[in-house]
Structure formats: C-alpha cells, structure tokens
Amino acid sequence: MNFILLTFFCTEIVLKLFAYGFKFVAEFINTFDSIIVIVSYVFLILDLRLPILGLLRTLRLLKVIATMKKIQDAKRERKEQIKKQKKESESVPCYIERVLEFMEKQAKNSLVPKIL
C-alpha cells in the first residue's frame, strides 16, 4: 500500500513539474513535499527500516493539510468574489434592461426616424 501511494505521489510531482515548470519548485511546500516523497521512496526501494520513516509519513501529511488549506482559501476567496460581483451587479442593470431602456429612449426621440 505504501508503495502505491508513494508511486502516486511521485507521479503527481512529475506531472506538476511538467505542467508548472520551475514555478512548482519555487513554492517551499512543493519542494519540501517532493524531498519527503523522494526520500521515502528511496527508503522503501532499499527496504530500509529506520525509525525516521514514521516521521516521514507524518511529514507527508503536511502536504495534505496544506492542500486542504489552499482549497479552503480558494473557496473562501471565490465566495468573496461572488459577493462582490453580486453587489456590483445590483447597481448595474442587466444587459436586457439596458437595451430596453435604450430602445425606449430612441422611441421617444423625435430625431430618430420611425421605420418600424
């Protein structure tokens, strides 16, 4: 089970490196997590049984916690953006209302020819 999870994490690291390039490495948590995963993977392949493995597993949880925090922060930010957009949209009429208002003004304007 540990081998499968570590393989999944290594694949994730490689895909993120491919997708984000060096921006991925620029974030401390990504670099930290990558080092933890690679060291854990090497220990697993070499079949080393050290007491530090428990610490490495615990440190891998930091990544999960950090990811959950990022997701929660992103959700909170998105909700704030939606609230802001709703406030702005309350003061600005929708496009249909603006078009109807424009057409009413044009209908009352005596300088505009009445073709229809």
What is the pLDDT at residue 76? Answer: 95
- Please report whether residue 106 resides in a domain: no
pLDDT in tens, 2-26: 788 888 888 989 999 999 988 988 9
Residue 96 lies in a domain: no
Q: Is 111 within a domain?
A: no
Q: How many domains does the chain have?
A: 1
Kindly state whether residue 105 falls inside one of the protein's structural domains: no
Distance CA 34, CA 12 (A): 10
Mean pLDDT of the chain: 82
Within 10 Å of residue 13's Cβ, how many Cβ atoms?
Answer: 17
50 in a structural domain: yes
53 or 100, higher pLDDT? 100
54 in a domain, yes or no? yes
More confident residue, 80 or 58: 80
Q: Which domain holds residue 8?
A: 2-83
- Mean pLDDT throughout 38-55? 81
